[in-house]
Structure 1
């Protein structure tokens, strides 16, 4: 083994352990009754997510990469996300809390043994792509962190006394308002070099984007409250036909978890209710709400290509960077990620993370809706399985970019793509606006 392979092995082990610590925090914060309860038909019981994380790890790392005997082949179908809708999972004969904990611990012990013996360098054989640069391990790290964010969303939906706590996000040194101009021309979108990038981020390809303006900050609570107070939810002029139909049928009158507080608004977050903070990004809005606000404000949502150009393109070098601030991994002073804070940070709270054109907080805080349907890039190749991305391509899903305060740095980068139905708002979703130049 070389020094580089040892260093990669240590990195993989650290990322696996870091993800598991977060999973333990989210599942041990509640009692076993809460663990098996379904807090919303949109979400699985937390105990399902826990065992599902272990089952995916077993399938890919123990059986496939390691070639080891199955730990629990009998539960594969129970934890196959495509076989059972979330609303139906509480009726399945799921592993109980203690059994699920023992299962994921057993799997993890075997995974560390597989990691000790895996060859992570590139090889000429066809099977090496799965483990090259630790990809399969990185895929599982990202999968667990994505489920941790899903479990965090479940915590937001649970009733009862608060069980999670975190310090408040940093205070902005100065407010951020206005727009940034992004000059037209080609840029490189996607990646062919990021070692743990998932299939829908690949391959890198050149996209020519006309000049546009994009807001330097995401739309805030205060701005969104003005839309409500001026009758935005009662006026079909601002809504698309599909959006208006959903607004009426779902009875939408404000972002999820908002309620009137005298002449102002309050919001409930993880069991605590407080008045909204005007300069924090609005969160828990669906695509249709974001689209309606944009029309009311005389702007529009950015396309996915516009969002990525604003987030990655450096006009001085004409190069696409990994992140708005450069190529270095996120740190605590660059972005609000990883559940360090349990809410978005106010506009301007991370000045060191701004892009070269002065656009702030493109990474972290809230997932940002774009106007683009989810599809594969030119030359897309599904890897390592079609069900990760390809089966979701089409008009049913809209792309979200940038990550949220609940997203982890391992599953959030300048090329990372998220997607969801345009009606979804239990996710940590917000938006920023753009307009033609």
Structure 2
């Protein structure tokens, strides 16, 4: 039994053989490591060690956890010599130690954690050279296990970004962010998605077990928002008293509102009257009304949808909109070409969502914008297995999370890596979580 990965998010992982994967696998591993080092390289040791929020791990825990996971799966599981004693794994086992307790563990100090990560990566590079390109071994077929580890590190980079957003005194200074486009005002409209069959799930070489097996399902016609709900849209709900009216809220959501005193999305700063600011990492800036709202939990998304006379889409509807109403099993909303900067806001270097309407090359076949990137999108669906689900490579990746406790998110955020997004990818979280980069769009039945 191998220790467990904490973050879920799975991109390319399949079990096909004959797929040339080694060069891509190494490139994705190195891209992920460069991102983590760039994010953390300028922070002093005390900030790397500190528990910035009980919701998140100390930053340096993630660094060694990622390296330990890589050692277990790309070295030990593939027959290479171990670097650490397996007893070391327990410190970085995400299931054994809740996040709020990890600062109390005997963690590697920052210099040692980064050195451990380098040592593991060097050993992986040497071992990768000796592995066959074509293998029927389940972990190696199509390079699955290398894709799993690369995606895992990128998912932790996204988790690191969420931790950095929670930093206070000092706040994390936004690095030189990639400029975000300003396309101008975009009116919110609805798109008709024709009913019919849709292929759900994935069969690509690096898809995760919860996306398998791919299957067809009939979806009734529906209407979906052309763009995600923006800050400006959501502000109307806030200023009209939406957080004070239990009519719009799921009963458990209303309990959360009252218990936590919620009055607006996370990191919004009311200034009196109709003036609003937001805190984005180390900056306080005017609330941009043309960007997708983020840092809202499922209960907030559900309440807004009810208030607007709509609802959240099911994950089958979301995937139908992403695949296209004609039923073609596209891998991405625009087709089968991998994401580029022209398609979507991904990769983390923009350090925030782009205004809606920024990526015309990423529009779906039916005219839905922004389905990948910018913000994760809450759906109405509980996280449940597809028919025929089989846990791989270990049950704790997905299986232990199935049930009504978790809601499904789709699409990926600005902090998600291109390697870890596609139409079939399923993310999930508790419905009260707000530190994640999540927003939503609405749907409604055709009458």
Normalized against structure 1, the TM-score is what?
Answer: 0.95
> 1:25 Cα deviation (Å)?
1.2
> 1:343 Cα deviation (Å)?
0.9
- The residue matched to 1:129 in structure 2 has which SS? coil
User: Which runs of structure 2 are paired with 1:277-296 in the superposition (5 Å)?
Assistant: 277-296=288-307
Alignment partner of 1:432 is 2:441 = yes
What corresponds to 1:328 in structure 2?
337
Distance in 1 separating the partners of 2:122 and 2:85: 14
Q: Mean Cα displacement is larger for which, 145-154 or 183-192?
A: 183-192
Alignment partner of 1:297 is 2:313 = no
Mapped contact 1:29–1:163 kept (Cα < 8 A): no
1:67 is matched with which residue: 71, 74, 80? 80
Alignment partner of 1:212 is 2:222 = yes
Mapped contact 1:238–1:293 kept (Cα < 8 A): yes
Alignment partner of 1:233 is 2:256 = no
- After superposition, the Cα gap between the structure-2 partners of 1:69 and 1:167, relative to the gap in structure 1 and judged at 3 Å, is closer
2:195 is matched with which residue: 177, 181, 184? 184
Name stretches of at least 5 consecutive residues in structure 2 with no aligned partner: 1-16
What corresponds to 1:40 in structure 2?
53
> 1:175 Cα deviation (Å)?
2.0
> 1:173 Cα deviation (Å)?
6.4
> 1:144 Cα deviation (Å)?
0.3
2:120 is matched with which residue: 85, 94, 107? 107
> 1:404 Cα deviation (Å)?
0.2
> 1:80 Cα deviation (Å)?
0.4
Name stretches of at least 5 consecutive residues in structure 1 with no aligned partner: none
2:34 is matched with which residue: 8, 13, 21? 21
> 1:429 Cα deviation (Å)?
0.4
- The residue matched to 1:71 in structure 2 has which SS? coil
User: Which runs of structure 2 are paired with 1:315-394 in the superposition (5 Å)?
Assistant: 315=326, 318-394=327-403
> 1:342 Cα deviation (Å)?
0.9
Listed one character per residue, the Cα deviations across residues 22-72 of structure 1 (whole Å, up to 9, x for unaligned) are 111122131111000010000000000000000000000110013323434
Alignment partner of 1:244 is 2:254 = yes
> 1:172 Cα deviation (Å)?
2.0
Task: Name the structure, 1 or 2, with higher relative contact order (CA <8 Å, separation 6+).
Answer: 2
1:81 is matched with which residue: 78, 94, 113? 94
Distance in 1 separating the partners of 2:361 and 2:70: 36
- The residue matched to 1:333 in structure 2 has which SS? coil
What corresponds to 2:419 in structure 1?
410
Listed one character per residue, the Cα deviations across residues 99-128 of structure 1 (whole Å, up to 9, x for unaligned) are 1011111111111111101123133xxxx0
2:69 is matched with which residue: 56, 59, 64? 56
- Following TM superposition, the consecutive aligned residue runs of length 4 or more in structure 1 with deviations greater than 3 angstroms are 4-7
Listed one character per residue, the Cα deviations across residues 373-394 of structure 1 (whole Å, up to 9, x for unaligned) are 0011111100000111000000
- The residue matched to 1:21 in structure 2 has which SS? helix
- The residue matched to 1:400 in structure 2 has which SS? strand
Distance in 2 separating the partners of 1:407 and 1:201: 18
> 1:13 Cα deviation (Å)?
1.1
Distance in 1 separating the partners of 2:82 and 2:270: 56
2:173 is matched with which residue: 163, 180, 184? 163
Distance in 2 separating the partners of 1:414 and 1:47: 32
- The residue matched to 1:301 in structure 2 has which SS? coil
Mapped contact 1:218–1:430 kept (Cα < 8 A): yes
- The residue matched to 2:93 in structure 1 has which SS? coil
Distance in 1 separating the partners of 2:319 and 2:18: 32
Distance in 2 separating the partners of 1:70 and 1:414: 37
Listed one character per residue, the Cα deviations across residues 333-353 of structure 1 (whole Å, up to 9, x for unaligned) are 100000121111111000110
Normalized against structure 2, the TM-score is what?
Answer: 0.93
Distance in 2 separating the partners of 1:168 and 1:269: 15
Alignment partner of 1:273 is 2:296 = no
Q: Mean Cα displacement is larger for which, 145-154 or 181-190?
A: 181-190
Q: How many residues align?
A: 427
Mapped contact 2:173–2:283 kept (Cα < 8 A): no
Aligned-CA RMSD value: 1.4
Distance in 2 separating the partners of 1:72 and 1:432: 47
Distance in 2 separating the partners of 1:264 and 1:297: 23
